[in-house]
Structure 1
Amino acid sequence: MARTAPTSIELVADGIRLEVVTAGAAVRRLVLTDEEQPVDVVLGFADPTAYGTGLDYLGATIGRYGNRIAGARFTLDGAEQRLTPNENGNTLHGGAEGFDQRAWDVVEQDDRLVRLALHSPDGDQGFPGALDVTVTYSLGPNLVRIDYAATTDRDTVVSLTNHAYFNLDGDASGPVDDHELTVSADAFTVAGPQLLPTGELRDVTGTPFDFRRPTRIGDALAADDEQLVLGGGIDHNLVVRGSGLRHVATVRGTSGRTLVIESDQPGVQVYTGAHFDGTVVGTSGTAYGARAGVALETQGFPDAPNHAGFPSTVLRAGDTYASTTTWRLGRED
């Protein structure tokens, strides 16, 4: 039976146009309009029915828990919670049927804002508590703001993020090796087998994860480092300096276009898209090869429910999870 295309919502502000689809509350296009030729700087499926299928997470809202939880289980207040495994016996991006595969409801919309909502029942993918979630995309001049909110009727864990892949030279322009990346991070969470955190926070000095100064992504990937071997490139959580809504990362393409990301989350997963192999065709009609885009997922730490030393991702009944991430587009000539 043919799949049904999700509803598409287009938001417009000075300099940008954003397309969001209801399947996975996903970003499909982010078009810079103040150009001789408008350019789309995120990767998106040419076929809109690919959204919600669990393929590649392109632009999707990730939940209940972004990144990996070891052994598809964690203990909360002395009670073990067993989750649905979907990667090597672990839980990745919320489990076998994460929020990226759900049909979200549009609850508010105008030319510059859309709010989407989702109800996740108690026990969904093994997570305790009924969770009500909203994600709001709103635009300003050359700015995308993403606001997440969630409430629960039982204590649970939550870490929401967006899985957009960026290519500031345009989604059809090939690998992002020549992009320069800066991240406000002095440490990263060391990965062990299956890219699960070991619990160690390692200083970035002398490692391929030192992006404190603008660094060509291809140069970082060329380093001789066992962590890069484990990740097939960079697929690691960096520990963002400071607290509150602050600078996380800046990306600069060869075009001079820039993306500045701010967030209030403690970490950012930098993923250089090694898995793209030409099977996904983008909105421009071009097949995406390895490193066609870089994902910068603002997040709680991976596997935090199993590491007492990591920032807590517990949401208590009666409390509200609230998080903000912004993407600001610009140009350096």
Structure 2
Amino acid sequence: MSRAWHRSVLGAAVLGMGVLLTGTSAGAGSVDKTPFGNTQDGKAVNLYTLTNDRGASVKFIAYGGIITAINVPDRWGKLDNVVLGFKELADYESMNPYFGALIGRYGNRIGGAKFTLDGTQYQLAANNGPNSLHGGTKGFDKVVWAVEPLSGVSGAAARLNYTSKDGEEGYPGTLTVQVVYSLTNDNELRIDYEATTDKPTVVNLTSHSYFNLAGDGTGGIDDHILTISADRYTPVDATLIPTGQLASVTGTPFDFRQGAPIGARIRSNDPQMAYGRGYDHNFVLNRSGSGLSLAARVYEPRSGRIMEISTTEPGVQFYSGNFLDSTLIGAAGQQYRQTDGFCLETQHFPDSPNKPSFPTTVLKPGETLKSTTIHKFSTDAS
């Protein structure tokens, strides 16, 4: 199957790296840079804050491109952070379950930690049982990205750049990646991905924020109403690798087409739920064409917050925070428990390099991977 990618042009020019960088166009927001500490090997890491003209903000660090906070209003206009995260860089380095991170080269799992491309087998790190997860031992979530604030946009934006060397984590080809985070004045977090390679390789880029629309540290996400635009999902084996089947969601705990509370069927005795201790599955999005299409909508009744996710990707991984076990302490001092946050990772399918029937994740020299995902935040009082 052919691989279609899409990315709208931001029309943004690079701005110098000042401490406070304010856009010059009408309605432009600001990009603020502050120190966030040093990595264990001595690299300086900065925290960047994108603020739009409505006061909403997105914070991220250069380490892993990690989104540490998304502050958006509830139905009464009160701003709260709606993603999980840590207070200190050391915690992100030592114990992070991918909170807020950019994921690559390959988001999600590759079965048996290996794949064959053009007759050559490539061995990857087996960092998730027998499988490779989220790029291996040192994926894109564990490197320091170069960051350039951008001007000429409505809202605030920054570009992140990283070059992954040939052979890094077992993947072929030198991969040049750029990701643009934009916070528009409509309270949309837009993530644009672009990548090129000098050898055939496989790529699956995504973002791994854990959301709680009631606010970080406010409790579980069972009552969040989730809608996913998917008639099918990809069942998995006991190690969470897709079987290759595209199964109907009808009559299963995976039917979110009409909207349902996340917790309504999470404790179902369906064998699929037992494999992941809850939801940890890829949904095959209903879409036509290669442009942006609505993937999911989440409504949190206490705060009135709504998040709508649109993407150019063919799938979304819904993960219900099943492995949060109270051992992690969040930025506000709270223990993170099972189902305190959820992920909706827009992506190509898990194990696609070993599943020829899935949409291809192969990227070749002369091609440019382009992909876009938008998180739009609003409220039921909007």
TM > 0.5 fold call: yes
In the superposition, relative to structure 1, how do residues 115 and 52 fare at CA in structure 2: closer, same or farther (>3 Å)?
farther
Contact 2:242 2:351 in 1 (8 A): yes
SS across alignment from 1:71: helix
Match among 264, 267, 291 for residue 315 of structure 2: 267
Q: Give unpaired runs (5+ residues) of structure 1.
A: none
Contact 1:53 1:101 in 2 (8 A): no
Matches within 5 A, 1:3-152: 3=40, 6-13=45-52, 14-33=54-73, 35-53=76-94, 55-110=96-151, 112-140=156-184, 141-152=186-197
Contact 2:39 2:89 in 1 (8 A): no
TM-score after normalising by structure 2:
0.84
* Residues 234-259 of structure 1: CA deviation (Å, up to 9, x unaligned): 00000011142100000011222100
Identify the residue that residue 316 of structure 1 maps to in structure 2. 364
* Structure 1 residue 83, shift from structure 2 partner: 1.2
SS across alignment from 2:45: coil
Range with greater deviation from structure 2 (275-284 or 158-167): 275-284
* Structure 1 residue 84, shift from structure 2 partner: 1.6
Instruction: Give the Cα separation in 2 of the matches to 1:162 and 1:17.
Output: 17
Instruction: Give the Cα separation in 2 of the matches to 1:69 and 1:238.
Output: 17
Range with greater deviation from structure 2 (242-251 or 302-311): 242-251
Identify the residue that residue 160 of structure 1 maps to in structure 2. 205
Instruction: Give the Cα separation in 1 of the matches to 2:48 and 2:351.
Output: 33
Contact 1:276 1:290 in 2 (8 A): yes
Aligned residues: 333
Q: Give unpaired runs (5+ residues) of structure 2.
A: 1-37
SS across alignment from 1:221: coil
Contact 2:233 2:282 in 1 (8 A): yes
SS across alignment from 2:328: coil
* Structure 1 residue 222, shift from structure 2 partner: 2.9
* Structure 1 residue 48, shift from structure 2 partner: 2.9
* Structure 1 residue 286, shift from structure 2 partner: 1.4
In the superposition, relative to structure 1, how do residues 176 and 216 fare at CA in structure 2: closer, same or farther (>3 Å)?
same
Identify the residue that residue 296 of structure 1 maps to in structure 2. 344
Instruction: Give the Cα separation in 2 of the matches to 1:262 and 1:329.
Output: 12
Contact 1:6 1:51 in 2 (8 A): no
Instruction: Give the Cα separation in 2 of the matches to 1:54 and 1:133.
Output: 25
Range with greater deviation from structure 2 (152-161 or 243-252): 243-252
Contact 1:54 1:101 in 2 (8 A): no
Instruction: Give the Cα separation in 1 of the matches to 2:367 and 2:93.
Output: 29
* Residues 104-129 of structure 1: CA deviation (Å, up to 9, x unaligned): 11134457011111110000111000
Write the letter of the residue equivalent to 1:119: T
Write the letter of the residue equivalent to 2:380: E
In the superposition, relative to structure 1, how do residues 134 and 52 fare at CA in structure 2: closer, same or farther (>3 Å)?
farther
* Residues 20-75 of structure 1: CA deviation (Å, up to 9, x unaligned): 10010010000015755421111111223323446200000000000000111111
Range with greater deviation from structure 2 (249-258 or 301-310): 249-258
Contact 1:83 1:127 in 2 (8 A): yes
* Structure 1 residue 224, shift from structure 2 partner: 2.3
Contact 1:52 1:103 in 2 (8 A): no
Write the letter of the residue equivalent to 2:292: L
Instruction: Give the Cα separation in 1 of the matches to 2:229 and 2:109.
Output: 22
Instruction: Give the Cα separation in 1 of the matches to 2:270 and 2:55.
Output: 40
Instruction: Give the Cα separation in 1 of the matches to 2:284 and 2:306.
Output: 22
Identify the residue that residue 26 of structure 2 maps to in structure 1. none
Write the letter of the residue equivalent to 1:251: V
Identify the residue that residue 271 of structure 2 maps to in structure 1. 226
- Percent same amino acid among aligned pairs? 45
* Structure 1 residue 287, shift from structure 2 partner: 1.6
Write the letter of the residue equivalent to 1:61: L
Contact 1:30 1:41 in 2 (8 A): yes
Contact 2:321 2:341 in 1 (8 A): yes
Write the letter of the residue equivalent to 2:58: L
* Residues 263-283 of structure 1: CA deviation (Å, up to 9, x unaligned): 011110000001112222222
Instruction: Give the Cα separation in 1 of the matches to 2:59 and 2:219.
Output: 22
Write the letter of the residue equivalent to 1:24: G
Instruction: Give the Cα separation in 2 of the matches to 1:49 and 1:113.
Output: 26
Instruction: Give the Cα separation in 2 of the matches to 1:25 and 1:45.
Output: 14
Instruction: Give the Cα separation in 2 of the matches to 1:177 and 1:317.
Output: 45
- 2:242 is the alignment partner of 1:202: no
Instruction: Give the Cα separation in 2 of the matches to 1:61 and 1:317.
Output: 23
Instruction: Give the Cα separation in 2 of the matches to 1:22 and 1:165.
Output: 18
Instruction: Give the Cα separation in 1 of the matches to 2:39 and 2:308.
Output: 39
Range with greater deviation from structure 2 (97-106 or 79-88): 79-88
Write the letter of the residue equivalent to 2:47: S
Write the letter of the residue equivalent to 1:16: A
